[in-house]
């Protein structure tokens, strides 16, 4: 899902963006208007104040480079029109040039200071996002009991760190338990929903015998989060939900899954990729009331030594190239040759970026696990 740290232009409604663009063009429009007046029979009109206002207006709506361009254009227009009208030598021309130079200098200085202040604020937001990421989306340990693991989070927004995608892997007395999920929506409400689900998962995995009970705790946490107002006093959107997939890897060569509306994980075995589809579709977290019948039934699949399982969010499989073609994740997995899970994800990342030409439309998360031989079992590394 989209990151909450969006640019101001992207967050504005289209009408406001159009007005902002118009204001940015206004200094150059004024300069052209002055040229038209000075080169016409109406050149007797006094246009000095209009031209002097050009860099001042640019400083309000543009950065230092834009302000410098507007100031340079205003000076060029002033010199050109004075030459055309043979006005050199008059006190008015020199007064206009002096006023224009002073206003331009002040505008560039103010614009540079504002740009520096905005950059410092943006850097602070990024530092906060990085700190939040270490709490919300921690890198999974490289070794967890009978598996090796690796994780990767890809933000659609440049400079963004976190969004509505979530994942976690925890070693428990029941085996290794994992979750991957995707929150519908974007912004801070999506982050809060992701944090609620992850918090419930991290607690319940250690004392609930059944994987389905862990999922129930995640669903209950999401309901509590959605029931009350957010810190700003706004009631969350009633249609919010989270797709989630839970997995459990015990000591035996199987894997148990509970899938609540999430894309099925992909099993790579001897170069062939298989989607572990649930026997019956289950509703996402938050939409339990719309579907009758039992929920959260765990299903078992063979998971032998050497097998690799990729849990991912829809930002991966829905990534498109300029021809509007989806990324073929199973095919990409089948062609990757990597000895370790981190290298495997790195190659998948490269294939995804190559397919999209570096432009992801949605955040994407991937969690890869590899089953080890029984003889390789030992203390888990973190």
What is the reported pLDDT for 156?
67
Q: List the Cα angle 215/220/368 in 5-degree steps.
A: 35
What is the reported pLDDT for 43?
61
Contacts of 367 (CB under 8 A, 6+ apart): 140, 149, 150, 151, 167, 169, 178, 180, 310, 311, 312
What is the reported pLDDT for 87?
64
The alpha carbon of 243 is separated from its chain's Cα centroid by a whole number of angstroms, namely: 18
pLDDT in tens, the chain (382 residues): 443 333 334 444 455 666 667 777 777 777 777 777 766 776 666 666 777 777 777 777 787 887 888 778 878 877 777 776 666 666 677 777 787 788 878 878 888 887 788 888 877 776 666 666 666 778 899 999 999 999 998 876 554 445 678 999 999 999 999 999 998 877 678 888 888 999 999 999 999 999 999 999 999 999 988 776 555 544 444 357 899 999 999 999 999 999 999 999 999 999 899 999 998 888 999 888 776 666 668 899 999 999 999 999 998 999 999 899 999 999 999 999 899 999 999 999 999 999 998 888 788 899 999 999 865 555 444 3
What is the reported pLDDT for 134?
63
Contact 167, 180 (CB under 8 A): yes
The domain 139-376 is placed in CATH, from the list 3.30.420.40, 1.10.287.3510, 3.60.40.10, 3.60.20.30, at: 3.60.40.10
DSSP reduced 3-state for 106: helix
Contact 55, 70 (CB under 8 A): yes
What is the reported pLDDT for 3?
39
Bridge-based pairing of strands 254-260 and 266-269 is unpaired
Contact 248, 214 (CB under 8 A): no
What is the reported pLDDT for 230?
54
Does the pTM surpass 0.85? The reply is: no
**H/E stretch holding 164:** none
What is the distance in angstroms between the CA of the first residue and the CA of the last residue of the chain? 28
Q: How far is CA 379 from CA 28, 143, 145, 340, 376, in A?
A: 68, 8, 7, 18, 10
**DSSP class of residue 280?**
S
Name the nearest CA neighbour of 308 among 278, 273, 343.
Answer: 273
Please report, for the chain, the start and end positions of each structural domain, with discontinuous segments joined by +. Answer: 8-129, 139-376
Contact 200, 179 (CB under 8 A): no
Please, which residues bridge with residue 121 across strands?
A: none
What is the reported pLDDT for 60?
77
């Amino acid at each position: 899902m989209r990151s909450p740290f969006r640019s101001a232009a992207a967050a504005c409604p289209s009408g406001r963006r159009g007005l902002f663009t118009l204001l940015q063009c206004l200094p150059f429009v004024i300069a052209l208007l002055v040229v038209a007046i000075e080169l016409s029979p109406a050149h007797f009109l006094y246009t000095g104040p209009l031209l002097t206002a050009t860099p001042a207006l640019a400083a309000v709506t543009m950065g230092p480079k834009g302000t410098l361009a507007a100031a340079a254009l205003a000076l060029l227009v002033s010199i050109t029109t004075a030459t055309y009208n043979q006005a050199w030598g008059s006190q008015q021309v020199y007064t206009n040039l002096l006023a224009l130079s002073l206003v331009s200098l002040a505008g560039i200085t103010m614009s540079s200071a504002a740009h520096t202040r905005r950059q410092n604020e943006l850097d602070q937001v990024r530092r906060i996002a990085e700190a939040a990421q270490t709490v919300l989306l921690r890198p999974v340990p490289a070794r967890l009991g009978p598996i090796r693991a690796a994780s990767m989070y890809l933000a659609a927004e440049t400079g963004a760190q976190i969004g509505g995608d979530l994942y976690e892997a925890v070693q428990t007395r029941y085996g290794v338990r994992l979750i991957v999920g995707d929150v519908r929506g974007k912004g801070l409400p999506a982050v809060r929903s992701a944090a609620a689900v992850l918090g419930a998962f991290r607690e319940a995995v250690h004392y609930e015998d059944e994987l389905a009970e862990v999922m129930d705790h995640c669903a209950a946490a999401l309901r509590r989060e959605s029931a009350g107002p957010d810190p700003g006093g706004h009631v969350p959107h009633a249609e919010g939900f989270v797709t989630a997939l839970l997995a459990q890897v015990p000591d035996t060569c199987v894997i148990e899954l509970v899938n609540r509306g999430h894309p099925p994980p992909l099993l790579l075995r001897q170069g062939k990729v298989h989607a572990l589809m649930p026997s019956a579709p289950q509703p996402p977290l938050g939409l339990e009331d719309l579907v009758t019948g039992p929920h959260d039934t765990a299903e078992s699949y063979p998971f032998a030594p050497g097998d690799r399982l990729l849990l991912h969010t829809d930002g991966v499989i829905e990534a498109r190239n300029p021809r509007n073609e989806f990324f073929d994740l199973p095919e990409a997995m089948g062609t990757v040759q990597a000895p370790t899970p981190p290298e495997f994800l790195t190659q998948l990342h490269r294939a995804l970026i190559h397919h999209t030409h570096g432009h992801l439309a949605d955040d994407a998360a991937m969690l890869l696990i590899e089953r080890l031989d029984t003889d390789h079992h030992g203390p888990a590394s973190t």
